[in-house]
Chains A and B, each alone.
Chain A
Amino acid sequence: MAQRAVSINPRWPGALSGALVLMLTLGTLAAVALRADWQSGIQAADWAAIRFTVVQAIVSAFVSVLCAIPVARALARRRFRGRGLLITLLGAPFLLPVVVAIVGLLAVFGRSGILNVFITTLGFDPIAIYGFHGVVLAHVFFNLPLAVRFILQGWLSIPAERFRLAASLGMPIGRFLEIPMLRSVVPSTFLVIFLICLTSFAVALTLGGGPKTTTVELAIYQALRFDFDLGRAALLACIQFGLCVIAALLAWKFTVHIGMGTGFDRTVARWDLDRPFIDYLWIALAAAFLLVPLGMIIVRGLPGLLVMPGTVWIAALRSIAVAIGSATLCCTMSVALALWGRKWANIIGVLPLAASGLVVGTGAFLIVFPFVAPSAVALPITVLVNATLALPFVMRAIGPAIAAVQDDYGQLGASVGLSGWAWLRIVVLPRIRRPLGFGAGLSAALSMGDLGVITLFAGKSEETLPLAMYRLMGAYRMDAAAGAAVLLLGLSFMIFYLCDTGGRRDADV
């Protein structure tokens, strides 16, 4: 096309954001690769960490997907009171801080949790949550809902007419409709969850940690914080990056388009429903698995609020500041990159998906360490890293909205002379308020609950709320930790709610 690109926006904000993201992803990677101790090579303990990382990720993804299939099928074909609410709740673990969920899981599956109380009164030995199966349990808790949503979408994407046709012909629905659908949806779901579990740090930090249950990310943390062996930490970071790239490439290759989740309110009319009992059993089990730990956080935590040390409140203020800073930076960069709108911006926007907090954190540590004490820059680095890691999600939320503004009003704007800051202020920002509010809420909540890069940098006086909570757990002050969990849970959902409704209010578009 000879169409001239109407350039309404200056390019430097997008280029600047792109440079920042590149520095934080590829730049930190370069720092890690340069510093890595290639001489001593991969040791036996490292191999064990690699093996554990991969095996737990495979098992977690496998269990999540396997359990998600019957739950998704039940949700696809049954309509009952509370179905919509349950499906909404399935989205909640994405915003749920990992350490908070751990407190809930411990309250149910831990040594003195309600499950063990039940088991021991029956005269059996208590089960232990720490170790391999604890890590898998926590990963399934986070990823089962995600898997259900992906697979449910697959079920609902089968046109109703096909079910009708199959019913009138007496075709076995499973073989002709459901299995082909699962064959396209399950591999991508499996790989996405595999990738998430591969980069999971906080779960392994809290529930794993022994020599047999150390993930690569956890080994990075231990090498840096306990042994202060920078070369080994850097080498492990390179290994972790390699794992992530392989998984991301696999996911890229096998991922059919997975939408963001609209149209869940549909059930498909079916003619093969004979045993509703099984469906409702699956739904009840999944709901209990999700809701009981969440409920226990509240039950255990509310009294704990009173016994929390005062430092927790100060840590909470720090976390709020970090969340606001990270959300502001993330949204600014996303808008700048989306307005830049070239292929480059899109590539830069997905780059952080292959990065992990600990790898980026290790690189940042290596870069700043020669110049300043890492603890002095703990919070700014956390803001930068959190903003970068949330970028792909925020860009996915606002990218289409910005493209629509440019398609619909770009020519009108150019013809009346709107450009630069005026175009942004008068047209773009008011028109993308809803997705921008959602994106801001998402990035703020993710940053609020993040227990990753901060662990590498923080000393005693820079702790954020998740870190303060983790340290309380480490000191076996479980009541105070549960109180902090309620506070963190409340703050995370509150900041998401405020941003999201702020974007919706008066958004007459």
Chain B
Amino acid sequence: MLMCEQLVLAQESFSLTADFAFRERAITGVIGPSGVGKSTFLSAIAGFFAPASGRILWQGNDMVSLPPAKRPVSILFQDNNLFPHLTVTQNVGLGLSPTLRLSDGDRSRVDTVLKQVGLGRLGDRKPAALSGGQQSRAALARVLLADRPVVLLDEPFSALGPGLKDEMLDLVGAMLAENGRTVIMVTHDPNDAKRIADEVVLVAEGVAHSPVPTHEIFENPPQALRAYLG
């Protein structure tokens, strides 16, 4: 179980507190106005931002002092999720071996996962030769292969058109959540949360509130969410 314990994040422009556990093997949407620190919250879980105080626990162990790669966490950023000079196969292969020394078995696992996300014959291409949606699928394939229990999504699909974005969200639901991952997804679009999130964390006025089941929070929105939804 992933848990924030009296976590305080501080930067010049804002501070953010969080004190709750994420539901395991489910998708949690993190919504709120821009500039409140949603991305920083994810960065702290991923290990790119050191909290001012508090602990981030995975299965009861504090992971605040661990470097990003040692955490049970995969992350997809808003952009730069693929290395442009490596082929799709190499990019996805990084999920198995960060030194890219892939055995034959590893290679066939890469091929299998590429087929799963619908990139079966594009493994030899470089990212520039893929469409935006295909690039997102390749990044997702790496996350699937990396086999880390927590997956953080920092609006990786925000540059896609609405139809393509929904398709990718459904793919996340089908492949990651079904797979038993704990997915935490930042979004500024409530419809994204409504589409696939089981629970929603509302971030507003310096506080990341405890998760609430998605249908409840939208049926009976608290004041802060109403202000945001307008």
Instruction: State how many angstroms separate the Cβ of A71 from the closest Cβ of chain B.
Output: 41
In the complex, the chain B residue whose C-beta lies closest to that of A411 is B48
- Which of chain B's residues has its CB closest to A405's CB? B83
Are A412 and B83 also in contact (CB < 8 A) when A6-B67, A6-B68 are?
A: yes
Task: Please give, as numbers and ranges, the residues of chain B lying within 8 Å of A411 by CB-CB distance.
Answer: 48, 68, 75, 77, 80
Asked whether, in the complex, the Cβ of A2 is within 8 Å of the Cβ of B69, the reply is no
What residues of A have a CB within 8 angstroms of the CB of B84 in the complex?
508-509
B94 touches A416 (CB 8 A): yes
Q: B48 near A508 (CB under 8 angstroms)?
A: no
Stretch of B20-28, B95-103, B190-198, B210-218 lying at the A interface: B95-103
A417, B98: Cβ atoms under 8 Å? Answer: yes
Chain B, range 18-62, C-beta contacts under 8 Å to A: 46-52
B224 within 8 Å of A (CB atoms) = no
Task: Indicate if B89 sits at the interface (CB-CB under 8 A).
Answer: no
Tell me how far the C-beta of B125 lies from the nearest C-beta in chain A, rounded to whole angstroms.
11
Q: Is B134 engaged at the interface, CB distance under 8 Å to the other chain?
A: no
Q: B98 touches which one: A6, A7, A419 (CB < 8 A)?
A: A419
Is A416 within 8 A of B50, CB to CB?
Answer: no
Q: Which of A4, A408, A426, A509 contacts B48 (CB 8 A)?
A: A4
B85 touching A416, Cβ below 8 Å: no
> How far is it, in angstroms, between the C-alpha of A408 and the C-alpha of B82 when the chains are bound?
10
Q: Is B137 close to A, CB under 8 A?
A: no
Q: Which of B11, B51, B128, B142 is the one whose CB lies under 8 Å from A508?
A: B128
B74 sits at the interface (CB 8 A): yes
CA distance A7 to B73 in the complex (A): 18
The answer to whether A430 and B85 touch across the interface, beta carbons within 8 angstroms, is yes
For the complex, is A42 an interface residue (Cβ under 8 Å from B)? no
Contact flag A508-B85 (CB < 8 Å), given A4-B49, A414-B67, A422-B98: yes
Q: Is A166 an interface residue (CB 8 A)?
A: no
Interface range for B: 35 or more
Q: Does B171 contact A (CB under 8 A)?
A: no
Per-residue interface assignment for chain A, residues 375 to 418, with 1 indicating a CB less than 8 Å from any chain B CB and 0 otherwise: 00000000000000000000000000000000011011011111
Chain B interface secondary structure, helix, strand, loop or mixed? Answer: loop
| CA–CA, A418 and B99, complex, Å | 7
Tell me the minimal C-beta distance from A191 to chain B in angstroms.
Answer: 39
Residues of B within 8 A of A2 (CB): 9-11, 49-52
Which of the residues A6, A415, A418, A419 comes within 8 Å of B75, measured between beta carbons?
A: A415
B94 touches A6 (CB 8 A): no
Chain A residues positioned under 8 Å from B165 (CB to CB)? none
In the bound complex, how far is the Cα of B118 from the Cα of A274, in angstroms?
66
- Flag whether A55 is at the interface (Cβ < 8 A): no
Q: Which residues of B contact A85 (CB under 8 A)?
A: none
Q: Nearest CB to that of B10 among chain A residues?
A: A2
Query: How far apart sit A489 and B40, CA to CA, in the bound complex (Å)?
Result: 56
Tell me whether B81 and A426 are in contact (CB under 8 A).
no
Measured CB to CB, the nearest residue on chain A to B74 is A415
Partner of B69, one of A408, A416, A430, A509: A416
Q: Are A414 and B10 in contact (CB under 8 A)?
A: no
Q: What is the bound-complex CA distance between A508 and B126, given in angstroms?
A: 9
> Can you offer 16 A-B residue contacts whose CB atoms are under 8 A?
A2-B9, A2-B50, A2-B52, A3-B50, A6-B67, A7-B67, A411-B68, A412-B77, A414-B69, A415-B46, A415-B68, A415-B73, A417-B68, A426-B83, A426-B100, A430-B85
Contacts beyond the supplied A415-B68, A417-B70, A427-B83: 18 A-B pairs with Cβ under 8 Å: A2-B11, A412-B80, A414-B68, A415-B46, A416-B95, A416-B98, A417-B98, A419-B69, A419-B98, A422-B99, A426-B83, A426-B90, A426-B99, A426-B100, A431-B85, A508-B85, A509-B84, A509-B85
